[in-house]
Amino acid sequence: MKKISKYQGKKVLVMGFGISGINAAHLLVKLGATVTANDQQTPKDPKVVADLENDGIKVITGSNPVSLADEGFDIVVKNPGIPYDNPLVAKFVEQGTPIITEAELGWEIFDGHLVSVTGSNGKTTTTTLTQLMLAKSSSHNVKYAGNIGVSFSKVAEGMGPDDTLVTELSSFQLLGCPTIHPHIAIITNIFSNHLDYHKTRENYINAKLNITRNQTKDDFLIMNWDRDEWQEIARRSQATIVPFSRLNKSHEGAYEEDGMICWRGEQIMKASDIRLIGPQNVENALAAIAAAKLSGVSNEDIISVLTTFGGVRHRLQYVMEYQDRLFYNDSKSTDIEATEVALQGFDRPVILLAGGLDRGYTFERLVPYFKKHVKAIIVFGQCKDKMKDAAKQAGIPTILESENAITAVPAAWEVSEPGDVILLSPANASWDQFPSFEVRGDRFIEAVEKLTNQKEK
């Protein structure tokens, strides 16, 4: 951990009691700040508040009182999910009070080698693959943190100058990271996500580009090269660009050619030997390979990881096989693009479980994927009628409604046959029925275990 004096004697407000927010509050005390912690909800566990207060932190729960903006805070550390049009946040913006996220605080105290990953889809898998590859060949600590569910600043506290941290960073986090400077940055892809938060696609792109904003030509930006727009976005960086391409659009980095995974003219392995299924995971592997090769990892270590790693929980996660049906949990597919990609990964007929929060869009884009891959669909949640409309356009013969992703499991089983895939890939956020996509995925797995009387693999 790097010793910094920036927060010594400063008055800091931490907004949000998530894992990262709580750790940030305690860390700021260690750094000499006077800290107030605020959350719109009152934690169910009273120990959360007690621990903060025992560390000398003033705690305010139950609302985000706008009057806090009048208390002279020098800086605000904001939970990434709190939007900037929140009345209290908007007041701080109006006053010109600096607002950062916990990831920026983690960067400020980190003293090692930083690799950072962002993108609309594939962030977690790419982050995990990169960490595994780098750890395989390093004698020093190589860990992951960030949006992957582990506090950046907490992990950074325990790392030294020879250690490497691979961080997954969301657009929400990156908006509050004005000085972050990874030596290697990865952008997996950029679609049109979270426009309810960012308002415009350009705002969303600019947030993603914060990952490379402070890079120089001595740093590397690994970028998906398979769309012209992404190539143009990459050119807005001052870093040395290292492309990766599943569609063989560049040989300057990592790419797939004639079924082989290659790095700058050198064949590494067959794409079909990657244990993770689907074209999106070829892209994730290529991005991770580029970071690994830039870091001196051997082909043998890369191959070892790619042929053994079975996937991240809730990201096209293989759950089990039962009576020649394969169950997959892709609860992380909270947008249309992710479900498109998931469906392309299967040659078997798919029984799709889909639906969730209604964000106002329709699902015509899924029609060609439904036609090619889906034999039956079970819909649920606020947007179930819109999902049914797309299924009808695709001519799916079996379209059923269910209450949620849990009750959809026995319904899917009833219409399944040997050889089928039963896939939860909702194409929507979970918040209409579940607190998170993780909870939705966990409940799906529990329903599969109850149905089959088996445990997940």
DSSP sequence for 277-294: -SHHHHHHHHHHHHHHHH
Domains and CATH numbers, the chain: 11-100 (3.40.50.720), 103-306 (3.40.1190.10), 317-452 (3.90.190.20)
Residue 217 marked as a ligand binder: no
Instruction: Note the pLDDT tens digit of each residue in 344-358.
Output: 989 999 999 999 999
Instruction: Note the pLDDT tens digit of each residue in 117-150.
Output: 999 989 999 999 999 999 999 989 999 999 998 9
Reduce the DSSP state of residue 363 to 3 states and report it: coil
Residue 56 marked as a ligand binder: no
pLDDT given at position 264: 98
Instruction: Note the pLDDT tens digit of each residue in 242-256.
Output: 999 999 999 999 999
Residue 120 marked as a ligand binder: yes
| Cβ–Cβ under 8 Å, residues 33 and 14 | no
Residue 79 marked as a ligand binder: no
Predicted TM-score (pTM) of this structure: 0.84
Residue 2 marked as a ligand binder: no
- Whether the pLDDT of residue 193 is over 80: the answer is no
Residue 61 marked as a ligand binder: no
The amino acid sitting at 213 is R
Give me the mean pLDDT over the 181-185 stretch: 98
Sheet holding 164-168, edge to edge: 142-146, 164-168, 113-118, 184-187, 220-224, 240-245, 254-257, 260-263, 266-270
Residue 101 marked as a ligand binder: no
Other CB atoms closer than 10 Å to residue 396's CB: what's the count?
18
Instruction: Note the pLDDT tens digit of each residue in 74-103.
Output: 999 999 999 999 999 999 999 999 999 999
| Cα separation, 238 vs 216, whole angstroms | 5
pLDDT given at position 274: 96
What confidence tier does 308 reach under pLDDT thresholds 50, 70, 90?
very high
